[in-house]
Amino acid sequence: MDTLKDKVAIVTGASSGIGAGIVKELLQSGMKVVGLARRKAKVEEIGKNYEGKLFAIETDVTIVEDVVNAFSWTEENVGPVYVLVNNAGVSYMSPIDEANVEKFKQVLNTNILALTVCTKEAVKSMKANKIEGFIINISSVFGHYQAAFPGVSIYTTSKFGVTAFSESIRRELAAAGSKIKITNLSPGLVESEMSQGALHMFPYLKSEDIASGVKYIITQPPDVNVAELTLRPVAETH
């Protein structure tokens, strides 16, 4: 789509799953896509035979310096960010009395704190360059209700946090007169490395489905902000 051609997108967690699907969709639209992930080589494999251009940066989003450097490099070498997709996330399942606290920290650092730092850097860039861009936070249906099975307390906590942060920042920017658009995108179960153990038990979405949702969000008219988008597989009951 011509309105997206050569505009800059940053996608976190870009090496596989939902992130890789989103990268492909944006490249197909002719965008310049900066993929952030710890596995840089896997990101680089994605970008072949597309209209857009892919830039891979080895980044641990839980390290603030890595994030700041990635955004600075992007603005200096590719251009100011127009779309940020905060997709990086991890899961951990355990009964609370048996939980590994370090794993809890990893979930919160990745799913919440890293997302807020990336959002901060994107908003700074968009404001400085007068860009009415998009920030899309990948949450979950578990960011809206409690899961029907045990052991996912820290994951659901993190996704409730993403949902709350998205709406809070949307209101904050709106109150300041900003036209930066914030979306909380909440999928049901999606096929990915993280979800392999559950795919035989429940209906699930493909990464391409979430990527189509992202494309829908960023191609709305300028006065439309898709504040919440929920995508669920047909026949999902949990």
For the question of residue 145 being annotated catalytic, the response is no
Which of 144, 139, 117 lies closest to 36, judged by CA? 117
Q: Quick: pLDDT tens for 130-150.
A: 999 999 999 998 889 887 778
- pLDDT of the residue at 196: 53
Average pLDDT score, the chain: 92
The answer, yes or no, to whether residue 1 has pLDDT greater than 50, is: no
Higher per-residue confidence, 52 vs 136? 136
Lowest-confidence region among 37-41, 175-179, 205-209: 205-209
- pLDDT of the residue at 34: 98
The structural domains of the chain, ordered by start, are: 8-231 (3.40.50.720)
- Taken in order 65, 67, 70, 76, is the CA torsion positive or negative? negative
CB-based contact 231:139 (threshold 8 Å): no
- pLDDT of the residue at 2: 72
The residue annotated as part of the active site, out of 50, 82, 92, 155, is 155
DSSP H or E run through 68: helix 64-77
pLDDT mean over 102-128: 97
Residues 6+ positions from 207 with CB-CB distance below 8 Å: 17, 18, 20, 21, 22, 190, 191, 192
User: For residue 195, what pLDDT band results from cuts at 50, 70 and 90?
Assistant: low
Q: Quick: pLDDT tens for 66-103.
A: 999 999 999 999 999 999 999 999 988 899 999 999 99
Q: Quick: pLDDT tens for 210-224.
A: 999 999 999 999 999
